[in-house]
Amino acid sequence: KTANVHLENSTAGEESDVRSTLHVPSMRLSEACSDAHHFDRRTLLKSFALGVGTSTVGSSARAQSGDWSSPGLAAPEDPDMPKFVKLDSGVRYQILREGKGEGAAAGDSVEFDYVLRRANGYFIYSTVDGVSFQPRDLPTGPVEFRLGSNRLVPGIEDALSGMREGGRRRVLVPANIGYDPDVKLEPVPPGFAARRQVINHRSEPLIFEIEVLKIRRP
């Protein structure tokens, strides 16, 4: 589907080589979270899935340079970083890499990896093997869903629409288009602890780092 987009006045960290550390927004992201909610191959994703945030995004985060392994999603302000784009649905995202080929559309099956965090940076789950703070026995591996099947979290479907193979986006999903009360919409992290985190925090905005691996056309 096609959605109108609006550029946000937010900046983010500079994209580096695909196998090096990804920098994240210097907490213009916290402003996006506040606006979205009324309260305050596998190696590629490891670079932004190595750690867990230990504090809410704020001045302490802005004071230090970092990446997804840093507390509070810390990163220096960088005017050269891609801005957040806002969809009509309320989803906000950054394009970390464009990818190649035709963008995904309704009816396409999309295989993707993802890293899921709370808006304050706390790690919940990653489809990538060997990520810090994730139990080693927890199942990992890319997931695949068909766009338009009504199986996906609406905000994730919005973010996947238009993505290309090899593309990466950092996505802020507002609670109103996030997980359903019974947490039956996908992707649902495996394991009791990760699922419990989603249940406990589904009323908050959530952050997904998504990388599209394959698009299968009908």
From first to last of its 218 residues, what are the pLDDT tens digits of the chain?
444 444 343 333 333 332 233 333 333 454 455 444 433 344 444 444 433 333 333 333 333 323 333 333 333 345 666 788 999 999 999 999 999 999 999 999 999 999 999 999 899 999 988 777 888 888 999 999 999 999 999 999 999 999 999 999 999 999 999 999 999 999 999 999 999 999 999 999 999 999 999 999 99
DSSP the chain: ----EEE-S---PPP--TTSPPP---SSHHHHHHHHSS---THHHHTTSS----S-SSHHHHTS---TTSGGG-----TTSPPPEEETTS-EEEEEE--BSSPP-TT-EEEEEEEEEETTS-EEEESSTT-TTS-TTS----EEEETTSS-B-HHHHHHHTT--BT-EEEEEE-GGGS--TT--SBPPPSSHHHHHHHHHHTTS-EEEEEEEEEEE--
Q: Does domain 5-216 have CATH number 3.20.20.370?
A: no
Threshold 0.75, pTM exceeds: no
Q: Are 73 and 24 in contact (CB under 8 A)?
A: yes
Residue ranges of domains in the chain: 5-216
Structure-token match 């506040």, residue found: 34
Provide the pLDDT for residue 136: 84
pLDDT at residue 132 in the model: 76
